[in-house]
Amino acid sequence: MRLCVTANERVAIVALGEGYLLDHPRYDPCPRSYADAASRVALPESTVRKRIENVRRKLVKAGVVQ
């Protein structure tokens, strides 16, 4: 099964996990809060949360996570 993540979902994923993508010494191994991620991409917190929940559902359906 192929996992299809939309561009909008990718934006939410990157905003949430941006610290993981930074080079040392700015690397931050902790995800942002939904509120921080939402302000970073100028979206409501509920929108970011829903997009991440959609990705989680897709991952569960694909058998990647439980």
Question: Residues 10-62: pLDDT tens digits?
Answer: 999 999 999 999 898 989 889 999 999 999 999 999 999 999 999 999 999 99
Contacts of 18 by beta carbon, 8 Å cutoff, 6+ apart? 32, 37, 40
CA angle 61, 52, 59 (to 5 degrees): 20
Task: Give residue 1's pLDDT.
Answer: 67
The beta-carbon contacts of 14-23 under 8 Å, at least 24 apart in sequence, are 15/40, 15/41, 15/48, 16/48, 16/52
- What is the value of pTM for the model shown? 0.85
Do 12 and 32 contact (CB within 8 A), yes or no? no
Residue 66: pLDDT band by 50, 70, 90 thresholds? confident
